[in-house]
Chains A and B, each alone.
Chain A
Amino acid sequence: MTAPTTGLAAAVWAALGTVRDPELDEPITDLEFVSSCTVSGDGVAAVRLRLPTFFCAPNFAWLMVADAHDAVAAVPGVTRADIALDDHFVSATINEGVAARAGFVASFAGEAQAELDELRAVFLRKAALAGQDRIARPLVDAGATPEQLAGARLGDLPPSADLDRLRRRRAEVGLPHGPDAPLLLHPDGAPVTAEQVPLHLRRARLTRVGIEANGHTCRDLLGKRYAI
Chain B
Amino acid sequence: MYSKDGENYFIVDSHMHFWDASPQNWVPGRENLAKGWIDCFYGYHQLGPPETHWDWEKYCRYSEEDLMHDLFEAGHVDVAIFQSTYLKYWYTNGFNTAERNHTLTEKHPDRFITNGRFDPREGDAGLAQLEEDAERYGLKGVKLYTAEWIGDSRGYKLSDPEAYRFLARAQELGIKNIHVHKGPTIWPLDKDAFDVSDVDHAATDFPDLNFIVEHVGLPRIEDFCFMAVQEPNVYAGLSVVIGGLMHARPKFFAKVMGELLFWVGEDKMTFGSDYGIWEPKWQVEGFVDWQMPDDDAFTDYPRLTAEGKKKILGLNAAKLYDLPVPPECRIRTSADEQERPGEQLVTDAAAAGSP
B33 is an interface residue with CB less than 8 A from chain A: yes
Closest chain A residue, CB of each to CB of B186 = A55
Q: CB of A18 within 8 A of chain B?
A: no
Please list the residues of chain B having a beta carbon within 8 angstroms of any beta carbon in chain A: 32-33, 36-37, 39-40, 43-44, 46-47, 152, 154, 184-193, 217-222, 225-226, 244-245, 248-249, 252, 255-256, 259, 262-263, 296, 342, 345-346, 348-349, 352-355
Interface digits, A91-109 against B, CB 8 Å rule (1 contact, 0 not)? 0000000000000110010
Given A55-B184, A59-B190, A213-B255, CB of A220 within 8 Å of CB of B218: no
Q: A210-B218, A217-B249 are in contact. List 19 more A-B contacts (CB 8 A).
A: A54-B39, A55-B40, A57-B193, A59-B190, A104-B190, A108-B189, A110-B152, A112-B189, A122-B192, A193-B353, A195-B349, A196-B352, A206-B221, A210-B259, A213-B255, A216-B248, A216-B252, A220-B248, A224-B47
Residues of B within 8 A of A203 (CB): 222, 226
| Partner among A52, A119, A188, A199 whose Cβ is within 8 Å of the Cβ of B346 | A199
Residues of A within 8 A of B226 (CB): 203
**Which residues of A sit under 8 angstroms from B32, Cβ to Cβ?**
89
Q: What CA separation (Å) do A176 and B184 show in the bound complex?
A: 34
A213 to B296, CA, bound (A): 19
Nearest Cβ on chain B to A54's Cβ, whole angstroms? 3
Across the A-B interface, give the 3 residue pairs with the lowest CB-CB distance, nearest first.
Answer: A54-B36, A195-B352, A199-B349
A220 and B346 within 8 A (CB) = no
Partner of A55, one of B37, B190, B349: B37
Residues of B within 8 A of A119 (CB): 190, 192
A-B pairs with beta carbons under 8 Å apart, 9 shown: A196-B352, A209-B256, A213-B217, A214-B218, A217-B249, A220-B248, A221-B44, A224-B43, A225-B39
Residues of chain B contacted by A25 (CB below 8 angstroms):
none
Min CB gap B290→A, angstroms? 16
- Chain A residues near B184 (CB, 8 Å)? 53, 55
Cβ A206 vs Cβ B222 within 8 A: yes
Q: Which of A202-220 contact B (CB under 8 A)?
A: 202-203, 205-207, 209-210, 212-214, 216-217, 220
Report the minimal beta-carbon distance from B119 to chain A, rounded to whole angstroms: 18
The reply to whether B249 and A202 contact each other, CB–CB distance below 8 Å, is no
- Cβ contact within 8 Å between A212 and B252: yes
What 1/0 mask marks residues of chain A from 111 to 137 whose CB sits below 8 Å from any chain B CB?
111101001001000100000000000
Which residue of chain A lies nearest to B188 when distances are taken between CB atoms in the complex?
A57
Contact A213 B36 (CB under 8 A): no
Using A206-B259, A210-B220 as known contacts, say yes or no to A217 and B245 having CB atoms under 8 A apart. yes
Whether A209 contacts B252 by the Cβ 8 Å rule is yes
User: A216 contacts which chain B residues (CB < 8 A)?
Assistant: 245, 248-249, 252
Decide if A220 touches B185 in the complex (CB within 8 Å). Answer: no
Q: Is the CB of B249 within 8 A of A190?
A: no
Cβ of B133 to closest chain A Cβ, rounded Å: 27
- A104 contacts across to B, CB distance below 8 A: 189-190
The minimal Cβ–Cβ distance linking B220 to chain A, given in whole angstroms, is: 7
Residue from the list A114, A209, A221 in contact with B190, Cβ < 8 A:
A114
CA separation between A119 and B352, bound complex, in Å? Answer: 31
Q: Roughly how many angstroms separate A55 CA and B39 CA in the complex, as a whole number?
A: 10
Q: A54-B40, A89-B36 are in contact. Are A196 and B219 (CB under 8 A)?
A: no
